[in-house]
Amino acid sequence: MRPPMGPLNRHNRLGPTYKYKFFSPPVMTSHPSSKTRLVGESVTFCCSAHGTPQPYLYEWFRNGDVLPNTIVDNSTLILHNLTTSDAGENRCRANSDAGAKYSRPATLTIYGT
């Protein structure tokens, strides 16, 4: 089967037309910032990324482990009623069909008992 014929090429001849789909892995455009909170407070972390195709899934990690129930289609992590066990390094990972990219880590420091 021959490919569809396209416009004249540089030699003034009809040639095949090809469509290419280029992918670029996610690139982080904003990283979460380190925060300090008291026990019982809330905190919000944000990140963003772009690529081709656009990232469709974000995951959040604390100290290298994926946080349960944080696989989301937007890039915001909100933690409520903080305890000292919520302290540590948090980062997000943007996922697309072209790959994945981690953000820089953001440290969450929790004070109180």
Domains of the chain by start residue, with CATH: 25-111 (2.60.40.10)
Q: What is the pLDDT of residues 37-87, one digit of tens each?
A: 999 999 999 999 999 999 999 999 999 999 987 767 679 999 999 999 999
Average pLDDT, the chain: 88
Partner residues linked to 108 by β-bridges: 35, 88
pTM for the structure as a whole: 0.78
**Tokens standing for residue 109:** 């420091």
The answer, yes or no, to whether residue 1 has pLDDT greater than 80, is no
